[in-house]
Copies of this chain bind each other. A is one copy, B any other.
């Protein structure tokens, strides 16, 4: 199984990407194709004991900057590392593409080159969140800012399959992110989605509020990409702010410094729990191929974990399952609608 890595994308590219590639090739029984500037990649590779590992380089002359607009990438960057890596999937020369670069560009190239699978109206980004009980999936976290009810309904289906196949949760509980637990609470969009989810065969547990996200009551939390993105980024910002505030307090007194020293193992375990590097990136579910988007700050370990997720997604046939279930659920919903009393 071959997996294409965008070697030039990410705050610490190509170093972190190459490091991840080496780790993955060594540990995960996959072949890695590093896509990007051949010389730079070669140079990074020479720092690692990579002889004999199933690693190859595929040259790409361009690279996409962090703030380049997706439309300019589509127009002008067709020899960029992300573009070429995505093309490898489209040509069946790789089963998955992974990038820690410009998120908008990764999404746009996947949508443009691979396209949505039959039946999927809007591919969506699913991210893993640490909770008090384990890990939950939040979908969508930014691919779709203006959504219709059926889009969120499909996000729920895709998120459930991902939670089952990749997180290993047998019957994932699906919650709808809203502003009150009662059925009638929410905005126009969520009220419609609520009805669709209730009529579906998914394990729908109703609305979940913002304050329930981190308790882990729902395994899959569904929302539009605007809300999901704000929710995710506000969480990152708040964690950082709490960390910075405590740090300032801690360095203010010698007692606190000693206290911090004694608490350090606890803090590290906490950091490990919320560390995105522990999770394997965020898949763009619903495209015809496997596309995984990693945090710009991804370390080698984070990249390796993304490769693991890509491999698992391929082995478990996540995309085939999504296609089948979307068809089945859509039939179920439309037949229920037809059968419902007029009024």
Contact = CB atoms under 8 A, between A and B. Distances in A.
Interface of A: 67, 131-132, 142, 145-146, 177-179, 182, 186-188, 209-215, 223, 225-227, 229-242, 244-246, 249-250, 252-253, 255-256, 258-267, 269-270, 273
Contacts of A187: 145-146, 226
A210 B233 contact: yes
A210 B141 CA distance: 12
B229 A231 contact: no
A237 B214 contact: yes
Contacts of A142: 179
A255 to B, nearest CB: 5
Can you list the 10 inter-chain pairs with the closest CB atoms, starting with the nearest?
A: A259-B262, A210-B233, A249-B266, A211-B237, A210-B234, A259-B263, A214-B241, A145-B187, A211-B233, A179-B229
Contacts of A178: 226
Contact of A242 (B186, B242, B262): B242
A282 to B, nearest CB: 15
B146 A188 contact: yes
B256 A265 contact: yes
A258 B267 CA distance: 14
What is the copy number of this chain in the assembly?
2
A330 to B, nearest CB: 25
A303 B7 CA distance: 56
Contacts of A239: 238, 242
A140 to B, nearest CB: 11
B231 A250 contact: no
Nearest to A142: B179
Contacts of A186: 145, 226
A237 B260 contact: no
Contacts of A260: 259, 263
A28 B269 CA distance: 47
18 contacts: A146-B187, A177-B230, A179-B229, A209-B230, A209-B237, A211-B234, A213-B234, A213-B238, A214-B237, A214-B238, A214-B240, A223-B230, A231-B231, A238-B239, A246-B267, A249-B270, A259-B260, A260-B263
A187 to B, nearest CB: 4
A241 B135 CA distance: 13
Contacts of A267: 246, 249
A186 B229 CA distance: 11
A157 to B, nearest CB: 22
A187 B188 CA distance: 16
A6 to B, nearest CB: 21
A271 to B, nearest CB: 11
Contacts of A131: 241
Nearest to A266: B249
A232 to B, nearest CB: 7
